[in-house]
Amino acid sequence: MPDRSPTTALLLGLVITLLTVVGYSWYISRQISGLRRLQTDLADRNRRDTLQLLRVQNDLNQLGLAMRDMLDREERYPIDAWDAQFSRIRQDLDAALKQQEAVAIAPQTPEQRRYLATSLSQFWDAADRIFELARGGQEDEARAQVQLSLQARQAALNTAVARLLVQNNEREEETARQVQEIYSRVQRQVYVFLAVTLAAILATSLYLIRSNRRLFARLATMSDQRRELAQTLIATRESTLREIARELHDELGQLLTAMGSMLGRAARHAPEDSALRADLREVGEVAQTALDNVRGLSQTLHPSILEELGLDSTIAWYLPTVERQLGVTVNYERSGEPVAVDSTIGIHVYRVLQEALSNVAKHSGAHQAWVRLSYDNGELDLDIEDHGRGLRPGSAPRGLGVVAMRERAALLGGSLEFLPRAGGGTIVKLRVPIHATAVLA
């Protein structure tokens, strides 16, 4: 059957492609909207990050005010009276830093985290020592440590937090500017891409449809011509082989038969124990062997028993011949109720069997084959199986013989498959409708 034109499939593909492009553009627009929402979320997180940093800064300022009061000589309270205030600020400061780290868009660098953690640890260690001195009655020493150590550490922490605030604000402004530029650029590119893609797809598809219609029209014509040529070649081959087989059987066979008869008569006229009689008998045996070979060759070229006894008998006669000629042991199985097969169909089935067994002997490396012939529901199934090297993965059998096998199956309206066997080897499956009308005469 000639290949159908792909115009319908191409038009369907064009519609699907256009819908895909439109859907993709809609999807991109949705993604851009989602990115804008994400930007809003990032801005909110950055705002909360800034608020937590301001909270940290406020706690540090409260520590600074507390230390100023601690150094005031006119203050009536002892230094350890600020221990509770420091504890409260310490808890609030730890909570603020944890929340800031959770909402931060860009986490702090390891160096920043290490510096902040170390500075805080040193600050609280110094504060603990100062309160220990105060509780031990060393108020002057405690005040000196506040002035010399604790205020300096608080100032360093304040500076670090202020730097984080500045960086956070700069990062927020830069990110917002870059995101807006990216959104605008991407949106323009999407629209340009959509327009160019639609135009290109439309132009290419129209050209492809037009070209493929012309191409498939030519291919259909060439396929018909090739099929006609294949039919003619196969018919010519079968006709030539039939004539050669008939000439061998009738002319050369009759000549060898006559020679054998003449040699037999001559031998009977020779003396019983003479050397001449032995030589004539030997020549007669050679002539008989040549006659048998000629008859075998005639049957191989075109089995006359196919017209006389049918396909089943022809296969049963041929398989022992294969074993002698090719050295391949053939196991033959037949199933189903035998049906009379037209000789034109039979000769093509016979040729496929010949070529398949020849390939087993030449290419598979196996010394045993299985042939199964079955009749079922008006269909003839012929399987030839070997356990040899098999087909390479992803490859298909090639060669003129394989092409001829496929053509014969097509001429009969059947199918031919080359299947890899699970345990290694190949299975050739031929299926032919027996009621099919023969193409070749």
pLDDT for the residue 371 = 92
d(CA 311, CA 346) in angstroms, rounded, equals 6
What is the 8-class DSSP label of residue 337?
A: -
What are the start and end residues of each CATH 1.20.1420 domain in the chain?
A: 7-209
pLDDT for the residue 6 = 58
pLDDT for the residue 309 = 79
- The residues with which 381 forms a beta bridge, in sequence order, are 374, 431
254-292: b (≥16 Cβ within 10 Å) or e: eebeebbeebeeebeeeeeeeeebeebeeebeebbebbe
Sequential pLDDT tens for the chain (441 residues): 444 555 676 677 678 777 777 877 787 777 777 777 767 777 777 777 778 778 888 888 888 888 888 887 676 678 888 888 888 988 888 888 787 777 766 666 777 777 777 888 888 888 888 888 888 888 888 888 888 888 888 888 888 888 877 877 777 777 777 777 777 777 777 787 778 777 777 877 787 788 778 888 888 888 777 777 776 777 777 677 767 766 666 666 677 777 777 777 777 777 777 777 777 777 777 877 877 777 667 666 767 777 777 888 888 888 888 788 788 888 988 888 877 787 778 888 888 888 888 888 888 888 889 999 988 888 889 999 998 887 766 566 667 778 888 888 888 888 898 888 887 888 899 998 876 433 333
Task: Annotate 141-166 with DSSP letters as a single string.
Answer: HHHHHIIIIIHHHHHHHHHHHHHHHH
| 379-386/415-420 β-pairing | unpaired
Say if residues 389 and 424 touch (Cβ distance below 8 Å): yes
Tokens of 10: 């191409």
For the domain made up of 7-209, give the CATH fold: A middle domain of Talin 1 (1.20.1420)
- C-alpha separations of 80 from 130, 139, 155 in Å: 8, 9, 21
Q: Where are the alpha helices (DSSP H) in 82-150?
A: 83-103, 110-135, 139-145
Task: Give the start-end residues of each E strand in 9-114.
Answer: none
pLDDT for the residue 52 = 78
231's CB contacts (< 8 A; 6+ apart) are 407, 411, 439, 440
Q: Cβ–Cβ contacts within 10 Å for residue 372, how many?
A: 16
**Residue that has been written with the tokens 């269909």 in this structure:** 379
- The residues with which 385 forms a beta bridge, in sequence order, are 370, 427
> Dihedral, CA atoms, 109, 113, 114, 115, nearest 10 degrees?
100
Residue 417 has φ and ψ, to the nearest 5°, of -125, 145
- C-alpha separations of 197 from 12, 19, 192, 209 in Å: 17, 12, 8, 18
pLDDT for the residue 302 = 67
Give SS3 for 368: strand
For the domain made up of 305-433, give the CATH fold: Heat Shock Protein 90 (3.30.565)
What is the 8-class DSSP label of residue 271?
A: -
d(CA 16, CA 13) in angstroms, rounded, equals 5
d(CA 315, CA 381) in angstroms, rounded, equals 14
d(CA 44, CA 50) in angstroms, rounded, equals 10
Tokens of 19: 């819908």
Q: Cβ–Cβ contacts within 10 Å for residue 91, how many?
A: 11
Angle between helix axes 151-247 and 275-301 (nearest 10 degrees) is 130
What are the start and end residues of each CATH 3.30.565.10 domain in the chain?
A: 305-433
pLDDT for the residue 134 = 82
Note every long-range contact of 367-372, with CB atoms under 8 Å and residues 24 or more positions apart, other chains counting: 367/327, 367/328, 367/329, 368/328, 368/329, 368/330, 368/331, 369/328, 369/329, 369/330, 369/331, 370/330, 370/331, 370/333, 371/315, 371/319, 371/330, 371/331, 371/332, 371/333, 372/332, 372/333, 372/334, 372/335
189's CB contacts (< 8 A; 6+ apart) are none
